[in-house]
């Protein structure tokens, strides 16, 4: 379901998986609106496993990444209290090489409430999310 020209959202009920596909580079406001709209879609079904396709978008800047890791993480935990919360970032190999160390540096909160991993193959991301 397109909520705007910059992101497509869908829900796989068979896998209880939310899929967020960025279609272009997004502004900071669009970035946050996209995540909040995804959470609005996930909340009624308690979908805590998310595949986020960054291939067309690229990486968020440090401010927006910190927002995800701290502010949005708290929103996710409040909205989906009983769900297993996992985010699989599906991206290009180049961006994966940049994102993995950024996550290691900035993701200082315990992983018990939200697991985040980076993938360059969609099938591997699905396996991890549903495993």
CA distance 36 to 99: 21
Residue range(s) defining the domain that contains residue 16: 2-130
Taking only the tens place, the pLDDT of each residue in 63-114 is 999 899 989 999 999 999 999 999 999 999 999 999 999 888 877 766 668 9
Q: 31 pLDDT exceeds 90?
A: yes
Q: What is the pLDDT of residue 50?
A: 98
Produce one character per residue of 50-86: b if its CB has 16 or more CB atoms within 10 Å, e if not: bbbbbebbbbbeeebbebbbeebbeebeebbeebebb
CATH number at residue 124: 3.30.750.24
Would you place residue 3 in the very low, low, confident or very high pLDDT band (cuts 50, 70, 90)? low
Count Cα neighbours of 31 within 13 Å in the Cβ-side half-sphere: 18
Taking only the tens place, the pLDDT of each residue in 114-124 is 999 999 999 99
Number of domains in the chain: 1
Mean per-residue pLDDT over the chain, rounded = 92
Taking only the tens place, the pLDDT of each residue in 14-24 is 999 999 999 99
Over residues 15-34, the mean pLDDT reads 95
Over residues 29-44, the mean pLDDT reads 96
CA distance 32 to 103: 18
């Amino acid at each position: 379901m397109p909520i705007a020209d910059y992101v497509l959202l869908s829900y796989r009920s068979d896998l209880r998986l939310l899929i967020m596909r960025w279609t272009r580079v997004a502004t900071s406001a669009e970035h946050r609106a996209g995540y909040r709209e995804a959470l609005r879609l996930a909340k009624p079904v308690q979908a805590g496993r998310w595949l986020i396709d960054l291939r067309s978008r690229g990486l968020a800047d440090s401010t927006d990444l910190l927002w995800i890791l701290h502010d949005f993480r708290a929103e996710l935990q409040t909205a989906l209290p009983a769900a297993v919360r996992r985010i699989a970032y599906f991206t290009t190999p180049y961006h994966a090489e940049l994102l993995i160390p950024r996550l290691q540096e900035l993701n200082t909160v315990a992983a018990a409430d939200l697991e985040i991993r980076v993938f360059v193959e969609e099938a591997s991301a699905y396996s991890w999310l549903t495993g």
